[in-house]
Amino acid sequence: MGAIEDAGTAPEGPDTDAVGAPVLPSTQQLEIAENILNRLNPKDRHDLGKMIHKRALYCGSIAASLALFWWLSIQRLGDDPINQSESLVKGITFTTLSYLVPVVVFFASILNAASRERGQPGPALVAGAMFLVMGFFSLEPLVLGLLNTDTEAIHAIWQTVRLVILGAGFFFVAKLFIEAFLLNWVMRLEEAFSGIEIMALANQPQIAETESQTEVPDAELPFDN
C-alpha cells in the first residue's frame, strides 16, 4: 500500500486558478472522499479527528493484545509437540501457521479495501483467495484431529481456536487501521485545499463536474503505489 505523500504547507487562503476560480479536488478524489464519508459518516471535522484517534487507539490496543496472546499461548510452549503438528502441506507446522494466518489476513484486508475504494476487481480477487486459503488452514487442525484417532481432539480444537482468534483479531486490526488511514486521507485532502470544506463538497458531487473546476491530477489517492 502506497503512503500518501506529504501535502506540504497549505496556503493561507483558498487556491485559485489563473482566472480567479477556486481550485477544487479532482472528480475521482471527490468520489472516493464521498464514499469514505458516507460509509463512516463523521458528523463534522472535529468528529473526523476523534474517529481517527479512536480507531488508531483501538487498532494498537487489539494488535498488542493479540501479540501477547500469541506469546503466551504459542511461543511459550516452545517445542511442545502440539506446536509441531504438521499441516497437509508438507513442511508447514502449527507454529508456522500461527505466523502466517494473521499476516496474510492483514494484507488481504488491505487489498480488499483497496479494491473497494478504487473500484478495481483485481485486488479483491487476490484477497478472496487469501481469505479462503487462511480459512482452510485455520480449520484444518480441527478436521484432522477429528478424523485422526492418534491426535487428541482437545488439542486439535485448541489449535483451531488459537488460529481463528489470531486471524479474526487481525482482520479487525486491519479494518480499524484502514478506516483510520482513509479518514486521515480525507482530512489531509481538506488541508491541501485550504479554505475548502471537502466534507461539504463530497455531499455535492455535481460541483466537481462544473466547467469552472480546475483538477489537480498529481494529488495522490488512497492506496496509490
Q: What is the pLDDT of residues 19-41, one digit of tens each?
A: 444 566 777 778 888 888 888 88
What is residue 201's predicted lDDT score, i.e. its pLDDT? 56
Higher pLDDT, 11 or 110: 110
Domain extent at residue 200: 27-207
pLDDT 10s digits, 114-163: 888 888 899 999 999 999 999 999 998 888 877 775 667 788 888 899 99
Rounded Cα distance between 92 and 22, Å, is 58
In a domain, 11, yes or no: no
Count of positions (residues) in the chain: 225
Contact 219, 4 (CB under 8 A): no
Rounded Cα distance between 157 and 144, Å, is 10
In a domain, 14, yes or no: no
Higher pLDDT, 74 or 44: 74
How does residue 171 score in pLDDT terms, banded at 50, 70 and 90?
Answer: very high
Contact 151, 13 (CB under 8 A): no
Among 2-16, 29-43, 89-103, which range has the highest average pLDDT?
89-103
In a domain, 128, yes or no: yes
What is residue 202's predicted lDDT score, i.e. its pLDDT? 56
Q: How many domains does the chain have?
A: 1
Rounded Cα distance between 174 and 66, Å, is 13
In a domain, 214, yes or no: no
Q: Which residue carries 479527528 as its cell? A: 49
In a domain, 109, yes or no: yes
What is residue 10's predicted lDDT score, i.e. its pLDDT? 36
For residue 5, give every residue at least 6 positions away whose Cβ sits within 8 Å of its Cβ, in sequence order, or none.
Answer: 220
Ranges 80-89, 101-110, 123-132, 199-208: which has the least confidence = 199-208
In a domain, 192, yes or no: yes
In a domain, 177, yes or no: yes
Q: How many CA atoms lie within 13 A of 2 on its CB side?
A: 10
In a domain, 152, yes or no: yes
